[in-house]
Amino acid sequence: MDDSNRSVAKRQIARLLGGASNPIYVLSEDNTIIFANEALGKLLDRPVDSLLGIQCSALGMPDQKSESAIASLLSPPGGWSRRSIKTVPFELKPDPNTESVRCLVPLEDSENSPLLCLIGARSTSDPFGFCDDPLGEVLNVLRSTRARYKHGNALWFLQGKSVRVKQVLEQVQLASQTSCNVWIAGPTGAGQRSLVEAIHAFSHSDHQSPDNVPSLIRIECRLMDRDILISMFELIADSQKKSNRTQSLLIEGFNALPSDCLSILASFVQQQPHLRYFVTLSTDSTSTDSKSMDSTGPEIARSKDWDAIFAIAGVLQIELPRLTDRLDDLRVLVASWLESTENQGRKNLETTSAFFDLLYAYPWPDDIEEFSQTMQHAVKSSGDSVQLDVAHLPINLRTCVSHAEQSNPIVSVDLDSILEDVERTMILRALEVSPSNKTAAAKLLNISRARLLRRLQQWGMLAEAESLDRDDDLPVFHEVK
């Protein structure tokens, strides 16, 4: 997704590069130096032209002026995703009161983004107190947009290669570039509210300050009754009269809205069409039409009021997939979650195969929200470990019956006894159809009359006098034991 906040910051940073006295360089998608300024050449004691084209990697060499040593020094950190800003130590020219650092700024929001790298001195007492200009000015630009970057990080759960995720991202981008009303459906815990907050923030990213972003008013439907809903709508209407900014209204959990409140909501939506509406609903336990984007919940029946709300609020419809329908994205989701959260700087944690085996086997009843809580628990439980393992997962995951255990295992059985019971049942049914003609009964079973008589004798169901029927003169054969 194109983060317009970052694009604004990128344009502001570009205007600062012309007169920069700090060492600056840009790495391409494959970590090749495609730009370097004079300050970087002076720092490394190399002509600027000789730096261009060096492909940076983490391989170090003893000679600090060699190309391999420069490539190692200027390479990005291993395991880092180019979806966030990162500050890392820089080893040259240490100072007791300051530390040399590199600020790495992705120029696009993708794993293949070009990377702007700025080198400067940072105060040891203030993590954001850069001593150099224009580096300090650049970091001020980043800091001014940092409050809105968190909304981009909130969409970590929409990372992956599945087709449905890509469709959702395309719809989110469209919603972020317009002011249309959005209808979001998905399973419980799929991240509907986080998605609304991100779209709302992205849509107003051109504002100079987060304080100028129009408010997002939230109505939680499961807590509403007629009186509370009427009071809230009156307050919203009064606020609109006093403010010049267009507000946004989040109707959360539309399924849970009491039926007697539906007409009140429909009337308000029709009277206030200039508001921007976000409607979220759960597709769990819905009606028989639950796979449809306009499905209703058990407490709301489809009606004229419902249609009026959907006609206004359902301009753009987004359906979030279940986590269990996109298990192929799990490894990407783990990496994206670690990258989107601070975790005391522990973003490069490794994971064992057994750890992922449990993640794949678990049914995730609360979807992405439960996945996020699971990751929080795992990181916290891992302590100082550099690897996440089964022991770090919550007890409910570790004790959950896996897919393999849920299937019926093959246990020890007496196959001959089972087959004999089946044969006895079928023979008795044939004899019920032809009780006085065993030849006809044998034909129904597609076996010989002799075999039928042997079975009846074996089970003690054929008297000696009955061993020969009038329609057959064959002797009765006794099985040799």
Q: What is the pLDDT of residue 456?
A: 87
pLDDT digits (tens, 9 = 90+) for 271-283: 888 889 999 999 8
- Report the range out of 8-17, 94-103, 235-244, 451-460 with the highest average pLDDT: 451-460
Query: Which of the four pLDDT bands, split at 50, 70 and 90, describes residue 18?
Result: low
pLDDT digits (tens, 9 = 90+) for 48-93: 888 999 988 765 444 445 788 888 888 888 766 676 677 777 876 5
Query: Which of the four pLDDT bands, split at 50, 70 and 90, describes residue 199?
Result: confident
Instruction: Read off the DSSP letter of residue 480.
Output: P
Give the Cα separation of 382 and 360 in Å (integer).
Answer: 20
Query: Which of the four pLDDT bands, split at 50, 70 and 90, describes residue 159?
Result: confident
Q: What is the pLDDT of residue 419?
A: 85
Instruction: Read off the DSSP letter of residue 425.
Output: H
Q: What is the pLDDT of residue 338?
A: 83
Cβ neighbours for 16, distance < 8 A, ≥ 6 positions apart = 134, 137, 138, 141
CA–CA distances in Å: residue 480 to residues 416, 434, 477 = 18, 28, 9
Residues of the chain with CATH 1.10.8.60: 325-406
pLDDT, the chain, mean: 76
415-466: CATH homologous superfamily?
Homeodomain-like (1.10.10.60)
Handedness of CA 76, 79, 85, 88 (dihedral sign): negative
Give the Cα separation of 228 and 240 in Å (integer).
Answer: 19
pTM of the model: 0.55
Residue 49 contacts residue 98 (beta carbons within 8 Å):
no
Residues of the chain with CATH 3.40.50.300: 163-324
pLDDT digits (tens, 9 = 90+) for 365-384: 999 999 999 999 999 888 88
The highest-level CATH class for domain 4-151 is alpha beta
pLDDT digits (tens, 9 = 90+) for 100-141: 788 887 776 566 778 888 887 765 544 444 445 444 555 555
Q: Quick one: CATH architecture of 163-324?
A: 3-Layer(aba) Sandwich (3.40)
Q: Is the pLDDT of residue 264 over 90?
A: yes
Q: Is the pLDDT of residue 94 over 60?
A: no
User: Across 42-179, where does the E strand assignment appear?
Assistant: 86-89, 98-106, 115-123
Residues of the chain with CATH 3.30.450.20: 4-151
Residues of the chain with CATH 1.10.10.60: 415-466
Amino acid at 87: T
Q: What is the pLDDT of residue 463?
A: 62
Alpha helix (H) residue ranges in 395-448: 395-398, 403-406, 415-433, 438-445
Mean pLDDT is lowest, of 147-151, 306-310, 449-453, 461-465, for: 147-151
Rg (CA), the chain: 35
More confident residue, 433 or 343: 433
How many secondary structure helices (H) and strands (E) does the chain include?
Answer: 18, 12
Query: Which of the four pLDDT bands, split at 50, 70 and 90, describes residue 192?
Result: very high
Residue 367 contacts residue 323 (beta carbons within 8 Å):
yes
Query: Which of the four pLDDT bands, split at 50, 70 and 90, describes residue 198?
Result: confident
Tokens, residue 63: 């000679």
Mean pLDDT is lowest, of 156-170, 240-254, 408-422, 439-453, for: 408-422
Per-residue pLDDT, averaged over 8-25, amounts to 66
**325-406 classified as CATH 3.40.50.150:** no
